[in-house]
């Protein structure tokens, strides 16, 4: 494909208008529209991270979606009214099908959605045409290396250079790394290309990674630490309210704002886990869904978190 196709660049005003239109159709007219798509392109990955269940599925039938199926799914999401798509894996930046590469799929999506994003392990070049790029970092070098296949140095080097879109770090709090959050935030000051940090809590899928699950007391301590660090001015984008609600998962979940696409091409509206494992709401750590639900209920902190992640330049 051409390296320089014409891709619409969405302004913040265009995104606000698009999201306002979505809210009117969803909230006022009562249409069952998804807002955000979690699009798993493949289970293939160049790492074998301890917290991740997906690289263990690489031998499954249809472990990677093809170009035709992927573009058909994106078209279906667009017709369904979806406004944001986040590509995941496995490692999405490794995705390919014939002559098509991830950047081709990202460009295709950018022509159809208000915001196109991806979550990567950060070991591959970050110069991809998405609006928002999340890089997973699960601690300072010793902790991250233990959890994520000794990949810290490669990730750290790639964070030197700003990608085309907004660069964020994503940290998943688990039993082994939550105490390392402050240390990571401190060293990230040396990577000014990183615009902020988002947090979520580890969810056990029951594939041998259960030892990383936070106990009730650890969950409370970890979230308390995150809130204190946010209050001190560290660039944690999660809202205080959503973090507090994650302690006991005392929040209203509007899970049908989410739609999931898996490597076999299946599309499932609702909970992130529904097509991927056993749903246990009490163990939920998916702060993006908590923020999405909060913004839908007009919680100011969640609206601000969404603005910083998806709308602001």
Count Cα neighbours of 193 within 13 Å in the Cβ-side half-sphere: 18
List domains and CATH numbers for the chain: 12-311 (3.20.20.70)
pLDDT in tens, 257-310: 999 999 999 999 999 988 787 889 999 999 999 999 999 999 999 999 999 999
Do the beta carbons of residue 258 and residue 272 sit within 8 Å?
yes
Residues 6+ apart with CB under 8 A from 36: 82, 83, 84, 85, 86, 257, 258, 259, 288, 292
CA distance 263 to 261: 7
Across the chain, which has 313 residues, the per-10-residue mean pLDDT values are: 52 94 97 98 95 78 93 99 97 98 98 97 97 98 97 98 94 98 98 98 85 96 99 98 96 97 96 86 95 98 98 91
Work out whether strand 100-101 and strand 96-97 pair parallel, antiparallel, or are unpaired: antiparallel
pLDDT in tens, 46-57: 999 999 888 777
**pLDDT at residue 205, rounded to an integer:** 85
Residues 6+ apart with CB under 8 A from 139: 147, 171, 177, 180, 181, 183, 184
Cα–Cα distance list, 251 to 84, 234, 273, 292 (Å): 22, 25, 17, 11
Nearest to 49 by CA among 201, 239, 208, 264: 208
CA distance 56 to 44: 9
**pLDDT at residue 4, rounded to an integer:** 43
pTM for this predicted structure: 0.94
Do the beta carbons of residue 169 and residue 163 sit within 8 Å?
no
**pLDDT at residue 9, rounded to an integer:** 65
């Amino acid at each position: 494909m051409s390296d320089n196709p014409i891709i619409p660049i969405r302004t913040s005003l265009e995104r606000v208008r698009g999201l306002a239109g979505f809210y009117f159709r969803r909230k006022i007219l009562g249409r069952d529209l998804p807002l955000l798509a979690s699009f798993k392109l493949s289970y293939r990955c160049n790492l074998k991270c301890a917290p991740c269940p997906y690289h263990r599925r690489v031998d499954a039938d249809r472990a990677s979606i093809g170009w035709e199926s992927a573009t058909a799914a994106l078209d279906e999401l667009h017709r369904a009214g979806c406004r944001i798509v986040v590509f995941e894996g496995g490692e999405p930046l490794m995705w390919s099908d014939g002559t098509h590469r991830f950047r081709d799929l990202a460009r295709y999506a950018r022509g159809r959605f208000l915001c196109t994003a991806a979550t990567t392990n950060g070991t591959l070049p970050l110069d991809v045409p998405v609006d928002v790029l999340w890089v997973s970092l699960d601690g300072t070098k010793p902790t991250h290396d233990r959890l994520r296949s000794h990949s810290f140095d490669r990730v750290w080097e790639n964070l030197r250079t700003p990608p085309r879109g907004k660069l964020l770090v994503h940290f998943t709090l688990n039993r082994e790394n939550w105490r390392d959050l402050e240390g990571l935030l401190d060293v990230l000051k040396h990577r000014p290309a990183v615009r902020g940090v988002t947090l979520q809590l580890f969810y056990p899928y029951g594939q041998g990674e259960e030892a990383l699950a936070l106990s009730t007391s650890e969950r409370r301590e970890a979230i308390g630490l995150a809130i204190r660090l946010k209050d001190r001015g560290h660039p944690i984008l999660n809202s205080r309210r959503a973090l507090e609600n994650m302690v006991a998962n005392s929040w209203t979940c509007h899970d049908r704002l989410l739609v999931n696409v898996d490597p076999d091409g299946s599309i499932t509206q609702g909970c992130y886990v529904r097509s991927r494992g056993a749903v246990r709401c009490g163990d939920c750590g998916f702060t993006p869904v908590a923020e999405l639900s909060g913004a839908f209920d007009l919680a100011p902190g969640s609206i601000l978190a969404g603005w910083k992640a998806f709308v602001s330049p």
